Structure 1
Amino acid sequence: MKKSLGFLLLSSLLFGCSDKDFSTSSPALAQEIESNYLDGYGANPQVPDDRTLLTVGQSIKDAKGEATLQKINLEEQTINVGDIKLTVKDTKLIHLFPDYSLTDYFHALTHDEEFEFVKLFVEIKNNSNDKVNFAPIAMIETNTGQKITWDQDIYLENLNEEIEGSASKKGNLGFIVDTKTNLEWIEITTSDVFDENEEKVADAKKFRIKF
């Protein structure tokens, strides 16, 4: 994208706020959610596919490792950042024991053999006719005081790149978190929105997700 995400992150310190928080959703909603918005989403090459993880304590194991669901919030939340409509479809705290073949990949972010990460499935819709630059997550801050920037995303699904006019995209973003103390919420700051001329057209937003 034309505007570097490093600049987007710095710019996102000027943001507006949304007061709406998530709350834990019901098992019935969990079953409904499993069969709709995830349709058409391809599995990530680095992280186990968590779409069947809907019950705390549940685990899955595949060639990429073993993942166990620690916490979950399935209540949808939508944030409008200028003409960008950002919808968070699910948020999960997952314990991951990655396969040995992925050790080098994760060592760039942690030297622990197993760790917890927060994962968000998002949809991004550009409601303008113009191409813009936008990152759904520029920074995450936790109730434990940890701050995590966009460049520590473990999924790398190109959600931080420019988006064409009237286009949409969806996928996962994930960030390794310190869970020595209880993780109760995460606070997300989006990037600003920039046009093709690298001019800011909308200020970033900040919102909180509870577990």
Structure 2
Amino acid sequence: MKQVIYLCLLLITLTGCSFNDEKSVAAKTSSNNTIPSYYDDYILNPQVSDDRLLQEVGQFSRDNRGELTVKAAEHDSHTYKVGSIDLTIREAKILHFKPDYSLIDFYHSYTHDQEFDFIKFFVEIKNTSNQPLKFAPIAILNTSSGEKVTFEDDIYLEDLNGEIAPNGMKNGNLGFIIEKSNVNSIEIMTSDVFNEKDEMIYDGETIRVEF
């Protein structure tokens, strides 16, 4: 009987520890932060953990997609004009990500590391003209540590590149895995702007973001 009682007490203790561990994880993201309003109506990405509440360096979160930690963040919003396109970068972050095991195959097409850093942006793209336009907010990205990635390396796959309807708008995330995390600035080269006949009508812009 004593053995049965001991086992029951041990089970209760372990269960309590597990519960406390989960509470401590949640606490690291539950400061006074609130989800920024520009995320209204945003549908969570199926491949990457939710980072909407992660706004400060060192914050950590875990969900069924994996674990995220903030390594750098820039929350000053800026709008850039690229011809008839208004491109707004709402936030830029460098995040360390440990994907859930169920997503490993997806990320193997980008990296063979089990966990990695990536640079992430939330952007808004507005076509201010009365004709369809084609545009990519990030065609090439260069980091201060000497790495270069292109639009083809985007891990979010939220269909932000390509055609934008007349007076239409798109918003969402773009993310690029990097090998060197000691990044203090990045240089973004947008694509040129094309009309529906694939004729270039505006040159792209170069944008610098400091962390």
Considering the TM-score relative to the shorter chain, is it more than 0.5? yes
Task: Give 1:27's aligned residue.
Answer: none
SS of corresponding position for 1:204? coil
* d(CA) in 2 for partners of 1:92, 1:206: 19
- Is 2:187 the partner of 1:172? no
Spell out, residue by residue over 1:21-78, the C-alpha distance to the aligned partner (whole angstroms, 9 max, x if none): xxxxxxxxx957x331111111000000100001211111011000011110000111
Task: Give 1:117's aligned residue.
Answer: 118
**AA paired with 2:121?**
L
Q: Contact conserved, 2:33 with 2:53, CA < 8 A, in 1? A: no
Correspondence 1:44-193 to 2 at 5 A: 44-179=45-180, 182-193=182-193
**AA paired with 1:170?**
N
SS of corresponding position for 2:138? coil
Residue correspondences, number: 180
Spell out, residue by residue over 1:75-125, the C-alpha distance to the aligned partner (whole angstroms, 9 max, x if none): 011111100000000000000000000001001110000000000000000
SS of corresponding position for 1:37? helix
Spell out, residue by residue over 1:150-193, the C-alpha distance to the aligned partner (whole angstroms, 9 max, x if none): 0000000000020000000100000001225x211110000000
* d(CA) in 1 for partners of 2:201, 2:88: 20
**AA paired with 2:199?**
E
Which runs of at least 4 in structure 1 moved beyond 2 Å after TM superposition? none
1:126 deviates by: 0.1
Identity %: 48
**AA paired with 1:191?**
S
SS of corresponding position for 1:162? strand
**Whose relative contact order is higher, 1 or 2, with alpha carbons under 8 Å and at least 6 apart?**
1
SS of corresponding position for 1:101? helix
Structure 2: state its 5+ residue gaps.
Answer: 1-31
* d(CA) in 2 for partners of 1:41, 1:145: 32
Larger Rg: 2
SS of corresponding position for 2:105? helix
**AA paired with 2:195?**
D
Q: Going by fraction, where is helix more abundant, 1 or 2?
A: 2
- Give the CA RMSD over aligned residues: 1.2
TM-score (norm 2): 0.83
* d(CA) in 2 for partners of 1:164, 1:156: 19
